[in-house]
Copies of this chain bind each other. A is one copy, B any other.
Amino acid sequence: MEKLLVFGHKSPDTDSIASSIAMAFLQTKLGNVAEPRRLGNISKETEYALNHFKIGAPELLSSVTENDNIVLVDHNEADQSVENIEKAHIYMVVDHHRISNFQTADPLYYYAEPVGCTCTILYKLFEQNNIAIPVDVAGLMLSAIISDTLLFKSPTCTDLDRTTAEKLAKISNTDINSYGLAMLKAGTDLSSFSEEELVNLDAKVVTIADKIKAKISQVNTADIDEVMTRKAKLEEAMNKDVESLGLDLDLLLITDIINSNSQAIVLGSHANLVEKSYSVKLENNTAFLKGIVSRKKQVIPVLTSNAE
């Protein structure tokens, strides 16, 4: 068989990188020639995990051809994959997402389970093939589970993710909690970003209830207080947006991914919509929103129903 190229989705997260590396290793042990690839830049969180376990990042891959024989991990949808994916031969998929916008001309290996992380499924494949997982690869796989499940706190986390993480922690001699917190924290290192960049890292401008023009931005952190030391400058950046974009509401969510809460900074003439929506009182333009982490599920629909 020709060489297998193994890669995860665009804008790769830790699972996409870890499962590419682990799968390429597994395929090599099974007698195939296989190499991991990545479809984009390594995040700070992933960089922390790679450095910790002393593994190099995969080479960048920008496109495939009809001569390529590929293994997809952590995704299947063409939109999320490499350019010209439809031309390549797909040998195998290992994934934990819905199946959509995916098709093949030939039968293939496809292993999917509705678990929190691709590496949880990969662990099973190592077991079934009686291949031992090296210490460094195990550590990277553990990092992926910690990342995808936010240290087992995400609603996507299953018992199998947790027990698999415990086995990988044992192999890699890792303290899940202290390492996991440090890794997640590395991913939330916002120090290199300006305040203007922070309010635009992950931002959406929406019109609420056909009348309120709102910008809703979000930054993830392990330490709300640290971000809040930059409150004055963040407000300055937000006020500029209120002016230039003609916003009625500018809401910045500083989300604590460890404890699953957000601190909101709220500006604009309709700031009181946030007070009404979450039964909170803004003090100096800010309020704590307990349990609120999802813009899509917990913010936009709530603001909409309270604005009507």
Contact = CB atoms under 8 A, between A and B. Distances in A.
Interface residues of A, number: 27
Nearest to A296: B107
Interface stretch (A1-9, A51-59, A91-99, A263-271): A91-99
Residue among A99, A102, A110 having the largest count of chain B Cβ atoms under 10 Å: A99
B99 A102 contact: yes
Interface stretch (A111-119, A197-205, A219-227, A243-251): A111-119
A108 B107 CA distance: 18
Contacts of A112: 107-111
A305 interface: yes
A103 B106 contact: no
A105 interface: yes
A100 interface: yes
Contacts of A97: 107
Nearest to A128: B128
A96 B100 contact: no
A217 B70 CA distance: 32
A301 interface: yes
Contact of A103 (B99, B300, B301): B99
Interface string A190-228: 000000000000000000000000000000000000000
Nearest to A90: B99
Contact of A99 (B108, B115, B304): B108
A279 interface: no
B102 A107 contact: no
A101 B103 contact: yes
Nearest to A113: B109
Contacts of A305: 105
A106 B110 contact: no
B98 A104 contact: yes
Interface string A19-58: 0000000000000000000000000000000000000000
Contact of A98 (B103, B128, B304): B103
5 contacts: A96-B107, A98-B108, A100-B104, A106-B114, A109-B112
Interface of A: 96-115, 124, 128, 296, 300-301, 304-305
In the A-B complex, list the 5 residue pairs whose CB atoms are closest, starting with the nearest.
A107-B114, A110-B112, A100-B103, A98-B104, A105-B304
